[in-house]
Chains A and B, each alone.
Chain A
């Protein structure tokens, strides 16, 4: 049996050891996930080409879904996520991340500029220079969350 762990870093090794003691393999490409109920993880599992790794949640600028792929953009690199966008939306702390369209989640602290379009839409400029759109479906949520 293979399981993926999504718990805060301080607990990761302890949980991993405990599971392996009981014969459960811990792997980042497993379909079953063990998550903490009351704390958001401070890292997520990603893939760079064929290599699996963990990256800190604090380094994420935005996450976008393109076709079948979910890409996690940081300041230095773009990774592929093993999770779907909706799963990531549920996994990440909503006080730090916000979904702005059916295909994009942003890290709130990395929004540096907001531009209003004439239709119910915003164009956001992020800290590393990318521009993403807040679509009409998420327009009022975005306004409420950002207080504008």
Chain B
């Protein structure tokens, strides 16, 4: 799968379509003004540059609205930190659904099976299966440094809310650089997390399934993130922490 797939090709395709539209409009406009020159009574059209600017604004606004709707529908969460740590997270009932949701929101076409430019490793622990893709590419801001596909394989279905907490830790003392908790009211078995770090660190991905909405609400009203994380550990029916090194290539 090409690393430029989706994330680049879909918006590029839209822009090419826009350029074609502009060229077609210019043809129509030229035809209209020459008909006017020949004495025909024709309606005045927008000048080509005004049409180009207006249609571009509409296109970008439409793309933004579409992405926002898709994001709100598809339980995709994202966080960008000014220090350069960020994640995008998405979950679904099946792995395919999870991958599709990411594609339609961010035009990212990554797969749990193989991704060009990434090395793959798999781990099993505590009923969870983790497929980790580590980037071999230059840290460019457009591609994640690491992708973690998570599948809960346990038998229990008795949960109503899922939390995933991402912590970026300093490698030597394991001191937290940043700690982010993502909540999903649809407690899906499948999730994917895209991670990018500003520097070498340890990524800690904690997954918690709660079987009580009341407990979930109590967590939501916690005062800070540390309280949320420790609260989750105590309340969750299903809990696992997966840690791995993240070394963005600079």
- A residues apposed to B, CB below 8 Å: 111-116, 118-120, 146-148
Task: Check if B44 sits within 8 Å of A148, measured CB to CB.
Answer: yes
User: Are A146 and B48 also in contact (CB < 8 A) when A115-B30, A116-B30 are?
Assistant: no
Minimum CB–CB distance from A130 to chain B (whole Å) comes to 16
Q: In the complex, A118 Cα to B48 Cα: how many Å?
A: 6
Q: How far, in whole Å, are A112 and B35 apart by their CA atoms in the complex? A: 11
Query: Which residues on B sit within 8 Å (CB–CB) of A115?
Result: 30
A141 to B30, CA, bound (A): 18
Number of contact residues on B: which range applies? 10 to 19
Q: Which residues of A contact B22 (CB under 8 A)?
A: 118
Measured CB to CB, the nearest residue on chain B to A112 is B37
C-alpha spacing A111/B34, complex, angstroms? 10
Residue pair B29, A116 in contact (C-beta under 8 Å): yes
24 pairs of residues in contact across A and B, judged by CB atoms under 8 Å: A111-B37, A113-B34, A113-B37, A114-B30, A114-B33, A114-B34, A114-B37, A116-B26, A116-B30, A116-B33, A116-B47, A116-B48, A118-B22, A118-B26, A118-B49, A118-B52, A119-B49, A120-B47, A120-B49, A146-B33, A147-B36, A148-B33, A148-B36, A148-B37
The 10 closest A-B pairs by CB, nearest first: A148-B33, A114-B33, A148-B36, A115-B30, A116-B48, A116-B29, A118-B48, A116-B30, A118-B49, A114-B37
How far apart are the CA atoms of A111 and B37 in the complex, in Å? 8
Q: Which of A112, A116, A119 has the most CB of B within 10 A?
A: A116
Q: Assess whether B47 is in contact with A146, with CB atoms less than 8 Å apart.
A: no
Residues on the B chain within 8 Å of A112, using CB:
37
Write out the residue numbers on chain A whose beta carbons fall within 8 Å of the beta carbon of B33. Answer: 114, 116, 146, 148
Chain B residues contacting A111 (CB-CB under 8 Å) are 37
| Residue interface mask B21-35, A partner, CB < 8 A = 1 | 010001001100110
Among A112, A114, A147, A148, chain B packs the most CB atoms within 10 A around the CB of A148
Known A118-B22, A146-B37; 17 more pairs at CB < 8 Å? A111-B37, A114-B30, A114-B33, A114-B34, A114-B37, A116-B30, A116-B47, A116-B48, A118-B26, A118-B48, A118-B49, A118-B52, A120-B47, A146-B33, A147-B36, A148-B33, A148-B44
